[in-house]
Amino acid sequence: MLHDRFQSASAFMASNKKLSLPTATKLALYADYKLATEGLCTQSRPSLIEFEKSAKWKAWKETGDRYTQELAQSSSSDDDDNAQISLTTKAMIAYIQRVEEGNWGWSFNPSASGSAAIENHLMNSAGNFSSTGDEDLDELEAYLGVDPNEVSAEELLARPYVPNKDQIEGATMTAAGISTMAPVEDEITGDDVFETSKSGSTEAMRAALDANPDLVSVKDDMGMTMLHWVCDRGNVDKATLLIAKYHADVNVQDVDGSTPLHYAYLLGWPQVIAYLRSVPSIDLTIKDSSGMTAEECQG
């Protein structure tokens, strides 16, 4: 089937020489055609003066090398859909795809190609139609067997995967059984001046502080400063910015007596811990209300 489609597409291109295609497209088609019909390029490099010849040679050679590499890669990688296909198959599929995507007027008509194999296939499928009388089988046949485009399973598998959007709606994550925590409703209580320390980019936080430099020492109802929040979330860039540029107090304590370093230790953020400890004014002896130093909070 693939072969018939390839024959038809290349015959179409051969009879439509007048199409004015960009050189790159022509070369790509040439390379795929050669690879599909003759395999890898074994000819020696033409002289550089023969521009056209050497451009063609280069396309054939390089595309072949690339495909060979890709086939080797896909056989060793996760996605082994392409593992078992040959270089010729890959080239034919690529050629057909180019012709399809070019929209130059080619479409495949299996009955017109007159190939005995296809006739046979139609016969067989027709046989199945009547013998099963089964809608699902008929439909499956229609998709995979006598589809007007005759796309074979092998070819479908070798094409890059494009998620089918309709499908995603039907097959949600729960179809596959992976449930995650349902989102919690955030009760939004007015403006949150600390927002930029809790989430978002370092730049956004810088902008908020430049607009209002006093923010750096503001405490929320839990006694937390922006530096506390940043250390809770584990963002070392923001911590550095708060201390180095806006002179945040590194030893500030919240209502539970916790310093930013207590947070960093409790959550185990190694980079934040290392940075805070490198700040000269850091006091490692501060205890929180349960009597623990930051280091003792280490989870």
Ligand X SMILES: CC(C)(COP(=O)(O)OP(=O)(O)OC[C@H]1O[C@@H](n2cnc3c(N)ncnc32)[C@H](O)[C@@H]1OP(=O)(O)O)[C@@H](O)C(=O)NCCC(=O)NCCS
125 binds another protein (CB under 8 A): yes
101 binds, among another protein, ligand X, none (CB under 5 to 8 A by kind): none
Selected binder of another protein within 159, 206, 277, 287 (CB under 8 A): 159
Binding residues for ligand X, total number by CB under 6 A: 3
Using alpha carbons, list the distances in angstroms from residue 170 to 83, 143, 161, 200: 30, 20, 18, 33
Contact 209, 215 (CB under 8 A): yes
193 binds another protein (CB under 8 A): no
24 binds another protein (CB under 8 A): no
Q: How far is the CB of 25 from another protein (least distance, A)?
A: 26
| CA gap 275, 238 in Å, rounded | 11
The 241-280 site mask, x for binding another protein (CB under 8 A), equals: -----------------x----x--xxx------------
| CB nearer to another protein: pick between 98 and 228 | 228
| CA gap 275, 269 in Å, rounded | 10
Contact 237, 249 (CB under 8 A): no
Q: How far is the CB of 155 from ligand X (least distance, A)?
A: 18
164 binds another protein (CB under 8 A): yes
Contact 87, 74 (CB under 8 A): no
| CA gap 108, 112 in Å, rounded | 8
Residue type, 50: E
121 binds another protein (CB under 8 A): yes
Hey, which residues between 156 and 175 contact ligand X (CB under 6 A)?
171, 175
Number of Cα atoms under 13 Å in the Cβ half of residue 165: 0
The binding site for ligand X (CB under 6 A) comprises 171, 175-176
